[in-house]
Amino acid sequence: MAALPASSTGRLSLTADASTARSDPAAPTPDRTATLRERLRRDTRTEHEALDARFAGMFAEPGLPRYRNFLAMNLAAHRAIEPVLAVSPLVGLGWSPDGRLEALEQDAADLDLEVETAAFPLDAPSRAEAFGMAYVLEGSRLGARFMAKALQPTHDGPRNAMPVAYLEVSSDPAPFRTLLTAMADAGLSEDEETRSILAADETFRFFRKILDRGEARAAAHQGVASR
């Protein structure tokens, strides 16, 4: 676990860009000397860390129940968000689906996961809003390689018999770099940057709502089975 990337609070960063320390979220915004990536990283801190906290210590649990929840959450979110981004202004800026949804479907089938269908609140995002959505979706690549390594067999034998197709596909950082380049070149206005941040926050909340419903459903099933 020590090899996995941590956020500024010391928790694992499983879902988005948290590679450097962030400033106080109460600081005045917007800061026009900051890049859009810096503003997104700083101004989505609360929602980002609330989601990260739900998976702290995930790989230390017998049977990895929260890894199963992690895959189910990501599958539901990718099913909802990828089609929206696929017809958004991002397509003309070099973004395209790269097989992560298919990998999630494979992992879910291997584990026989029950995954809900959810609709993302923004069905026709502007360019700025699409940047915020994609920032959350693509930023998860930063920790994927380390997570996959934590689940790989060791010289002593298997570590955890869990599918890792999604993590392996997500280990390629190139799409996130492409997104960052497009964001840097976009020349968004102050208002557009604010809309991008609001869309990213909404995306983090969407992930968490899916997780909440999945955990509640699993608890209900467990309660029925124990009667």
18 within a domain of the structure (yes/no):
no
Q: Which two tokens stand for residue 208?
A: 């968490």
**Looking at the DSSP assignment, which residues form a beta bridge with residue 12?**
6
Rounded CA-CA distance 220/197 in Å is: 35
176-219: pLDDT as tens digits:
999 999 999 999 999 999 999 999 999 999 999 999 998 888 77
Quickly list H helices, the chain: 36-43, 45-52, 65-86, 100-111, 127-139, 141-151, 165-170, 174-185, 190-225
CATH of the domain at 170: 1.20.910.10
24 within a domain of the structure (yes/no):
no
Rounded CA-CA distance 43/200 in Å is: 9
Q: Is the pTM of this model over 0.85?
A: no
Residue labelled with tokens 């860009």: 17
138-180: pLDDT as tens digits:
988 878 888 888 887 654 554 567 899 999 999 888 899 999 9
12 within a domain of the structure (yes/no):
no
The count of domains in the chain is: 1
Residue numbers of the domain that contains 179: 36-220
96 within a domain of the structure (yes/no):
yes
pLDDT beyond 90 at 19? no
Rounded CA-CA distance 77/84 in Å is: 11
134 within a domain of the structure (yes/no):
yes
151-162: pLDDT as tens digits:
876 545 545 678
124 within a domain of the structure (yes/no):
yes
